[in-house]
Structure 1
Amino acid sequence: MVLIATEVFGVALAGGWAIAGLFELGSTVGYILMGLFSLFAAYVMTMVWRVCTRVEPITQRA
């Protein structure tokens, strides 16, 4: 989980920085994009956490 989270947040920060640099949007817009992408990364990590910690009921076979 920690490695996946690190990768997702790293991509979010690098993506915001790269898009702002590519389109010459300035540092303020770059920080805003990094923040928005980080919020999306937090949402993705919440969904991954829920899937990974889901406990399936154990059924007994007769």
Structure 2
Amino acid sequence: MNAAAKPARRILWANVSTVISAAILIGAEVFGAAFAGSWAIATLFELGDMGAKVFDVVFVLIGIAVMVKFVRGATRVEPFTTAG
């Protein structure tokens, strides 16, 4: 066996499950708020269906950025793998 071989990494399924569960819960809230917010703003300013769709796209892109940041931060706190 090669002495320089890296030790096998082990998946920490409890951490994976925790992060995925939290991401699903927070994602539902973030994207629900995005669609509700876009509808409310478009209605408030009487922008019509096209204005609502534009705000949908903008807020969903912001929501994706929020979720990426959340998952990256969560994997720092709850790492998915460990050495050995």
Letter of the structure 1 residue corresponding to residue 66 of structure 2: V
TM-score normalised by L of structure 1: 0.84
TM-superposed CA distance for 1:54, in Å, is 1.2
Question: Which is greater in Rg?
Answer: 2
* Cα displacement (A) at 1:55: 5.6
Q: RMSD of the TM alignment (CA)?
A: 1.3
Identity over the aligned pairs, expressed in percent? 48
2:37 aligned to which of 9, 15, 21: 15
Deviations 1:17-46 (A, max 9, x none): 110001101110111101100000000000
Runs of 4+ in structure 1 over 2 Å off: none
1:29 aligns with 2:48: no
TM-score, normalised with respect to structure 2? 0.63
Q: Mind listing any 5+ residue stretches in structure 2 that lack a counterpart?
A: 1-22, 79-84
Count of residues paired in the alignment: 56
